[in-house]
Amino acid sequence: MLVYLKTLGCRLNEAELETWAQAFQKAGHQITREVNQAHVVIINSCAVTADAARKSRQLIRRTHRDNPTAKLVVSGCYATLNEDEAAQLMGVDLVVSNKNKDQLVEQTLSALNLDSMPAMSTEPGETSLFSRGRQRAFVKVQDGCRYRCTFCIVTVARGEEVSRPVETIIDEINSLHQQGINEFILTGVHLGGYGNDIESNLTDLIKEILQKTDIPRLRLGSLEPWELPEGFFSLFENPRLMPHLHLPLQSGSDSVLRRMARRCKTEEFSAMIQQARQQVKNFNITTDIIVGFPGETEQEWQDSFNFIKETGFGHIHIFTYSSREGTKAATLPDQLTNEIKKQRSKQLHVLAESMKQQFATENLNHQFEILWEGHKQETGDNQHLVFGYTPNYLRVACKVSNTENIENKIISAELESISDSHLNCVLNRS
C-alpha cells in the first residue's frame, strides 16, 4: 500500500509526520511522494490562525480532487477543534484527534480495513525522511501546554502536557543517525516544559542526548523565554548544540504582554538576549511578533517597535492578529481595524528585513561548518549552486561543479556576500 503524508503548520507537525511514516513502513507499507499514486493520504492540519484553518480545509478538498479514490485521513489542530466540520468535508474517511495521534497508524489500518500485512513486506532499509533527501529530522519530545496565552488556540487543541521518556528519544535519534541523518531538531508545543510530568527537564534531556549519541548537530525548536533556567547558555559550550534559539517575544510592550498573559517582561527578555550574545559567539536570536493585538494603542505599538529595533533579531515571524473563537483574546474590547494592522505589519516587515540584513553582514568573512542539502540550482558552465545552513541558522549557497556531490556532508565555508534569499560562500577545501 502506498501512503502519502502532508502537513501544514509547525515543526511539531513535521515530526509527527515522520513518526507516522516510520510506523507505516514497519507495518510493511510504502511512503510515496506522489499524491495521485497513493492508496491512503494522511493530512496533519493546522489551526494556529484563522487563515491556517482555511488553508487546511483547502488542502483537504484539493487532495480529494487530486486523488478521489484514496482513503483520506485528517488529524492535527484544525481537525481536533472542528472535528464534525472536518469529517463532513468531501472525501474524508477518518478524523483522528490530537489526543489519539499516537494511535493514528493503527486506527487508520484498522478503521479503513487496511491492517493486513502485504505479502512481500520487509523491514524498511531507511526512513521516509531520509528517502526524501532530507538531512535533518524533527524529533517530537513532548506535546501539550500548561499555559494559556490569551491569543493561543493551539493549547486548547493539544491538551495537557505529556513528555516522552528520555531513553525513547535517544533511541529514536540513534536509529535515525545510523540511517544517515546528521541534524536533529527537538520540538514540542511547550518545549521548555519538557519533563515536567516525568521528573526531568529540557537541560537534562540535552545533556543526555549529547552524551549518549554521536550526532554532529542538535537544534532546539521554539522556546518560551521564561523557561530558560540559570546557566542554560553554558550548554552551548558544546559545539554540537547549534547557536540559535527561536524565542517568541510576541510584543515589545509590557502592557500588551500582560493582556496576552505572557510571563516574560521586556526587561527580562533583554537581559536574556544580552547574556546569550555575551556567552556564545555569533548567536542568532529569532522571534515571533503579533501585530495589532486587541487594544494595542499607538503608544504601545511605538514602544513595541522601539524595543524590537533596540533588541535586534536575525529573523522575525510576523503575525497579524486574527480573532480565534475559543480564546480569551477574542472577547477583549477594542479590536483593531484591518487597516491599522496592515499599516503596522508593513512597518515591522521593513524593520525585520533591515535587521536580518544587519545580522547577515555581521557574519560575513567568517568561516562556518555547513551541513549541505540536496537542493540544487543550475548556473551553467557545468556548475550548480548547493544550499545549506550555518550552525547559527543562516541559509547559504556555494557554487560547485556538476561532478561534485556534497549532499549531507558537513564542510566548512567562508561567507562572502549577501543575496536576496541566502549568503554566498566559498568552500574551504584545505
pLDDT along the chain (430 residues), means of 10: 88 87 87 90 90 91 91 94 91 92 91 55 38 74 90 81 95 92 92 92 97 97 90 96 96 98 95 95 96 97 98 95 89 94 96 96 96 83 90 94 90 94 87
Question: DSSP 3-state helix, strand, coil percentages of the chain (rounded to 5)?
Answer: 40, 25, 35
CA distance readout (Å), 195 to 33, 135, 201, 241, 262: 35, 27, 4, 19, 21
Is this model's pTM higher than 0.75 or not? yes
How many residues are present in the chain?
430
The pLDDT score that the predictor gives to residue 98 is 92
pLDDT at 348: 97
- Cell representation of residue 175: 536509529
Topology at the third CATH level for domain 135-239: Transcription Regulator spoIIAA (3.30.750)
Q: State residue 50 phi and psi, 5-degree precision.
A: -60, -35
| Domain spanning 243-361: CATH 3.30.750.200 | yes
Q: Say which CATH class 2-111 falls into.
A: alpha beta
Give the integer Cα–Cα distance in Å for 172 and 319.
33
Q: CA–CA separation, 16 vs 221, rounded Å?
A: 14
